[in-house]
Structure 1
């Protein structure tokens, strides 16, 4: 009963502070609390002073009274005494202190004090407010999760449409290539058949002429038994037949027995959007410590300074070089072979970057790059640097630039796994950027090589 009282002994003003929705429940709880409180106080109230027990004692009849009250009630009484409640007589003034009731009274007295009630009301308000705030947090979390679900579904649907479109284009390329190759095969087959059929018709016509002549000669031979043959009978002129056309089975079959899948795959590069861009290095931008090959596809650091002409495009402080090809619209992809170089930087650079000063490679400075240091420390060119943990060390890297979506992505070209993607890409014209770096080791410097895929004309 004490615990029940503790749970519900609150004033009605506390309950009504938290909204109309909870008022009926709280009112019912207040009624239960009031009932419990009254019943408990009644059980722990002295029948003499009508107040909570003070030093409660129990008579032999099991009724309880305050020790001062029962002592005062029996004062002056000679002989037997009686219980004030049930009037039972006792031969002597005897009672027993009830420590359990004493504890209960102290508990009730403590829990009915103004300070206790106020503290409990405060705890109630704080707990209820805490639960309300938690509920709000959970509701907001549910709303955010539902928004995320809708976003994921929308993005997923958009990506599915895009993926289907990309593969539809590939399917169309393959379909067109298959149709073209089958038509070419049919055309060549018909040409060969026509040549053989033409010779066949000529031979058959010659055979028919010879058969007619043979018949005429036989008839003439049969008539010579009775008459003297004065001249040969008229014969049809023999048809001239060209030499039978040669049919080279190997020559006819080889192109269709070739590795068609590989040939078609190579042909597809020309139709890919974007296809691999055939980049070349711009020697006018090369730092004097960079040597560029004759075909402008290989760049390597060198100990001696390469003779160079002054040019406003040239990097003078950092060992950098740009590609000759720049982009400011569309989508573009290129691949760079780095091999086992322990140190390099590559990516794209804005046309307006300062070429004569040392600048940190970051989007704020006009660079979107990836870097390698110490042979295994890969980082994306943010400030601060973003460390990357590729599954394997790429020997070749692919760079994908989408000018419309302002996205720059880097791939391990060996397995096309994504290494990093900048979503705050450049505006305006940019150039592929490379830095073979100064290795500073005794080993022979290793080059950076631009990978090219030879263009192959599609069939037809």
Structure 2
């Protein structure tokens, strides 16, 4: 049989109607072969019984019978073209090369290919059998006690049962069709899948936070190294050696921290891969029509996946600060003169973040006057006629800058020379502008002030008196938005005045100006220098 088929062309085994290998081949009186289904459907659609190939007409519709010998040849060819592949269920009836099954019968306990499934389509008794998509472990779908299909689910015992089981051990139990229980479990699968997807997003977010913290720490480390190099460059040979040792130690710590971060990221990515696999399985299961399989694997897939790391991993971006501080403290006694250059270096670094600032006239109190293209602000003798504006201060003689900042670092300088009253700092976008205002961080203001010519204070929740060695002529205001810091400096002395630290900014910050009331020695305006 095999040798015969190998001598023939494959085209000779193709139905001229469907153009595929014959299925249940039949032969017309004129000698042509067709699939039984193809020929019957062709005649059902035609007024006359004609051969689809040669058009010969038959007065009486021929009774068709399957050409069994020809079908064996065709089946052999089909097996060569479409062997059972891994993952496919083979037919239990095929005796030679086994074709893949198209259905499994729960009543017979067997899987059938297209050819051997034919009796289940034609025999009256077999048509009543319960067919399903082919599965390998068909015995798992049959009750081992009654040898009947598992069609019901016992909610009391949480197990699948057959119809005979409900007449015995499960007679008084709450049983429902598998389909009903499966649909309910699918809805629960959706909730579990949502939780898994949230865990994936949380871990992706944590990876992003770790990488951002790593960038901040690396930038901070590079700045500290640069500052250290500038300080130690002028020192004698022993200090140069100390400088090299310090940098090496800082870099080693940085590399160790990078390795730690990469390790954490790798572990989190592995967990994400596992969660994605779980997500895919849940997605596939949620669309499965295999109700028994769903119920059997449901407890395993719906248990929370094990994860090693929580999402509250924190990374310290200031890894090298303590190392640098210790090194500088050891050298302070011997090299005080060189260490005095550090504030100048810090001021130089801060000035790199200088921004162009001008006063916004729509926010200025009516008694304030602006000149120099918005670079000068002072108090006038009488209020000006201005339009009403919700942004304008209407009681306190203050004004804000035009430009607002919601991220990063920014710096500006204001000349206060010749003044006995002034207030400088930053204010939040939605801080109060109307009525009497108490300047404090709780109200959205971070400021320092001079009153009565020599009284300096930081306007916190409780005003903090500041003791300055000399009177500033130019004040620098520096903001690190992400760090939550607002710092003030005496620019000419390169000295620090005060810092608000540990703040949380959620709105835009605007430069704040309060020139105080004019008269006497306070008539000079505030002048924005940078």
The reply to whether TM is greater than 0.5 is no
The TM-score normalised by the length of structure 2 is: 0.35
More helix by share: 1
The TM-score normalised by the length of structure 1 is: 0.40
The structure with the larger Rg is 1
Highest RCO, 1 vs 2 (Cα 8 Å, sep ≥ 6): 1
